[in-house]
Amino acid sequence: MTRWEPNARGRLQLAALELYSERGYDQVTVAEIARHAGLTERTYFRYFADKREVLFHGSSALQDLIVEGIAGGPDGLPPIDAVGAALESAVGVFPGRELAGRRQAIVKANPELLERELIKLATLASAIADALRGRGVPDHAASLAAEAGVAVFKVAFQRWVSGEADQSLALVIRQSIAELKIVTA
């Protein structure tokens, strides 16, 4: 008998964050996450392929939104501003700052997770570069604006979750793009 469980995905994500934070990523099993969420292991595997994926769900949605944002952005925007606007338009995929910070701490504490995060960011940079080329930005400039945009995103995200600036992620991204212009000027 399959029961529909309200917001099973979100409950599993939250349960995973709680247990990984408390005990460390390596010490927690999928069975424990499912139990903590009041669900079965079978339900877990309906949503996530393994214990790692629960932390990376949403990264392809993020990439899709950013790529769409670049493709659909207004004509004539300088490349870095096209990337900045697209990054801002995608912040809705992130949970609140507290949960995002907890996830960040888990990922940073585990080399395997950090490597996966870095691969995702490298893939994101390639996708952004392709989207910029699709807008007619020359090859090399597209790669540079994409990598610089992802660089801004990393720094802004870190600043946002640190809580040092009590601002929305979108605003921190906007300020960081402005600051990139200053440090490169």
Site residues (vs a copy of itself, CB under 8 A):
78-80, 111, 114-116, 118-119, 122, 140-141, 143-145, 147-148, 150-152, 154-155, 158-159, 176, 179-185
DSSP state letter for 164: S
**Cβ distance to a copy of itself smaller for residue 98 or 164:** 164
**Cβ distance to a copy of itself smaller for residue 46 or 159:** 159
Torsion region of 175: left, alpha or beta (phi above 0 gives left; psi -120 to 50 gives alpha): alpha
**Cβ distance to a copy of itself smaller for residue 7 or 162:** 162
Q: Are 57 and 17 in contact (CB under 8 A)?
A: no
- How far is it, in rounded angstroms, from Cα 183 to Cα 107? 29
**Cβ distance to a copy of itself smaller for residue 5 or 171:** 171
**Cβ distance to a copy of itself smaller for residue 38 or 78:** 78
Closest CB 185 distance from a copy of itself, rounded Å: 7
Closest CB 94 distance from a copy of itself, rounded Å: 19
Closest CB 37 distance from a copy of itself, rounded Å: 30
Q: Report residue 184: phi and psi, to 5°.
A: -100, -5
Closest CB 33 distance from a copy of itself, rounded Å: 24
Kindly state the tokens that stand for 8: 């099973």
Kindly state the tokens that stand for 5: 């469980």
Closest CB 151 distance from a copy of itself, rounded Å: 3
Closest CB 61 distance from a copy of itself, rounded Å: 22
DSSP state letter for 3: P
Kindly state the tokens that stand for 62: 């993020």
**Cβ distance to a copy of itself smaller for residue 23 or 181:** 181
Q: Are 180 and 152 in contact (CB under 8 A)?
A: yes
To the nearest 10°, the Cα dihedral for 96, 102, 105, 108? -70
